[in-house]
Amino acid sequence: MEKYYITTAIDYVNAKPHIGHAYEKMAADVLARYHRLLGKDVFFVTGLDEHGSKIEKAAKQAGIEPQKFCDQMAEEFKKAWKALDISYDYFIRTTEKRHYKASQEIFARLQAKGDIYKSSYTGLYCEGCEDFIRERDLDENGNCPTHKTKPRSLSEENYFFKLSKYKSAIKEWLQSNKDILQPESRRKQVLNQLDDPELGDFSVTRSRTSLNWGVPVPGDDNQVIYVWLDALTNYITAVGFPDDKVMLEKYWPADLHLIGKDITKFHSIYWPAMLMSAELALPKHIYGHGFITVEGQKISKSLGNVIDPLALANEYGADAVRFFLFSCTSFDQDGDFSKEEMIRKVNADLANNLGNLLNRTLTLVDKNCDGLVPEAITNETLLDQAKATQIAVIEHMSNLDFSRTLESIISLIDKTNKYLNDERPWDSFKKGKTQEGQIVLYTVLEVLRQSAILIQPFVPNIANDIWNQLGFDKSLTELVSTKEMDKQLDPTYRIKPGQKTNRQGPVFMRIEEQVLSS
């Protein structure tokens, strides 16, 4: 069976999750669910980066030990991901014992290869970036352009990794296939960075005096492994490195590292260089997505627009949030979250369009066909359009083009609503032209069956509800998890005549109605 190993960036636990963290996890979840639909053996990993001086500081402020602080934060993240239906297979935390072992093992391998050396270094260090920053990259106030804080001068003896040795190999690798790093704009940027002579060896440890909360360097008690080497290693820890060779063999290399555009450099230069040095395979794909702004503004604590994803899911439901974010933003670009826009969009597409189609059709089936799926005679024109939609969805999903995927599905639903309006099956039944009415209802039920499958990765609850109302025994989720989807996606498969449908009312309540009634 084909495997699909997908990872997200691991979030830094110095603060609670916000909508930006959630956006990436939801995207990875959409992809994980989609590949499960295709029958693949999916391993979806997300988790937390729990080391570093910012966490040490935050724990101190909270008056607790760093580990306890991380444990508490981990619960916050897990709670939010549960509310948003993030179906991860493994939640990795870099404070796990086995991750210490993995980080130390990879350090030892780089060292054994002769790619690690000790040297002293003086430079400007930004605590927000957890990285040294060059003078010329500072803004006009002498601050880090990302964090708007002044970097401090830091001088210490560290272990360095010989990135310079791998730069040309990395460049060749990235040029060998356009698909390795996407979108294309990010790939160009990284290729330019590789040409920069100043991009050289980088420090992979910190002295204990500047950072205590981290994985100890094997054989040197005065140093801890620096955040990036530690954090990036999570991707192999999660699949059993170094001890579980069976699992590692099965899932590594990752099929996709899904990350934010700001950390593309670390994932497509530093990480592959370390993997080359450790003689491990390189990831198949890396994708640096755009960011989410809120009501047109960058998410920031000082602007007070940090949206709590848990509260959002509790208020509007995971499906509404997921549907809106992926239909209204282009995944490779920055996108905006606006409550008003979300309500408008989900009311139009999920309540009025999709929900109404199901409800009207099942009402007609109840009234005219005793609630049973009628004889299997179909309108092939509409079903050809459904087939074309499936082909388009596969194409768009392979490009991580979520907005066009949803556009294709919603456009099919539009056409089906129009078909129902134009054909007026209620008139046919009234006039005694039973078969004409049955053709229309059967065709629409079949389109609804296919649409439920296609839209399931985005709105799993609504899809399950449609599935249930169409009268299937097993839930859609159950079919996916027992890998019985094959025939459901076969173009010749059709909903069975005589199946008892199960009308339950709207699959998605218009949002202002919810607000008014609560």
Is 39 a binder of Zn ion (CB under 5 A)?
no
Question: CA nearest 274: which of 322, 335, 230, 218?
Answer: 230
Asked if 328 is an active-site residue, the reply is no
CB of 452 to Zn ion, least distance (A): 45
Asked if 289 is an active-site residue, the reply is no
Of 60, 68, 118, 147, catalytic: 147
Asked if 18 is an active-site residue, the reply is yes
CB of 145 to Zn ion, least distance (A): 8
Task: State phi, psi for 85 to the nearest 5 degrees.
Answer: 60, 40
Among 38, 129, 180, 306, binds Zn ion (CB under 5 A): 129
CB of 142 to Zn ion, least distance (A): 12
Copy the structure tokens of residue 450: 């296919």
Q: In a 3-state reduction of DSSP, which class is residue 91? A: strand
Segment near Zn ion (CB under 5 A), from 35-43, 139-147, 249-257, 409-417?
139-147
Question: CA nearest 163: which of 274, 279, 263, 278?
Answer: 274
Is 124 a binder of Zn ion (CB under 5 A)?
no
Of 18, 162, 167, 289, catalytic: 18
**d(Cα 279, Cα 475) in Å, to the nearest integer?**
44
Of 150, 298, 367, 418, catalytic: 298
Asked if 126 is an active-site residue, the reply is yes
To which residue do tokens 């950072």 refer? 211
Asked if 21 is an active-site residue, the reply is yes
Asked if 301 is an active-site residue, the reply is yes
DSSP symbols for 304-356: T----HHHHHHHH-HHHHHHHHHHHS-TTS-EEE-HHHHHHHHIIIIIIIIIH
Is 102 a binder of Zn ion (CB under 5 A)?
no
Of 70, 144, 328, 369, catalytic: 144
Q: How many residues bind Zn ion (CB under 5 A)?
A: 6
Segment near Zn ion (CB under 5 A), from 36-44, 124-132, 179-187, 363-371?
124-132
To which residue do tokens 């109404």 refer? 356
CB of 295 to Zn ion, least distance (A): 25
Q: Which is nearer to Zn ion, 134 or 474 (CB)?
A: 134
Copy the structure tokens of residue 230: 């530690």
CB of 139 to Zn ion, least distance (A): 10
Segment near Zn ion (CB under 5 A), from 8-16, 122-130, 298-306, 381-389?
122-130
Q: Which is nearer to Zn ion, 57 or 344 (CB)?
A: 57
Segment near Zn ion (CB under 5 A), from 60-68, 136-144, 159-167, 411-419?
136-144
Segment near Zn ion (CB under 5 A), from 84-92, 141-149, 153-161, 180-188?
141-149
Asked if 369 is an active-site residue, the reply is no
**CA distances from residue 349 to 341, 364, 412, 472 in whole angstroms, order as listed:** 12, 21, 11, 24
To which residue do tokens 């409800």 refer? 359
Is 412 a binder of Zn ion (CB under 5 A)?
no
**d(Cα 125, Cα 146) in Å, to the nearest integer?**
13
Which x/- pattern, by CB under 5 A, does the window 144-183 give for Zn ion?
x-xx------------------------------------
What stretches of 367-456 adopt beta strand conformation (E)? none
Helices (H) and strands (E) in the chain, counts: 23, 16
CB 189, CB 226: distance < 8 Å:
no
CB of 266 to Zn ion, least distance (A): 14
Instruction: Tell me: cis bond preceding 66? Omega within 30 of 0 counts.
Output: no
Give 372's strand partners. 500
Among 123, 128, 216, 218, binds Zn ion (CB under 5 A): 128
CB of 130 to Zn ion, least distance (A): 8
DSSP symbols for 147-180: T-S--EEEEEEEEEE-GGGTHHHHHHHHHH-TTS
Q: In a 3-state reduction of DSSP, which class is residue 216? A: strand
CB of 143 to Zn ion, least distance (A): 8
Annotated catalytic residues are: 18, 21, 126, 129, 144, 147, 298, 301
Interface residues with Zn ion (CB under 5 A) are 126, 128-129, 144, 146-147
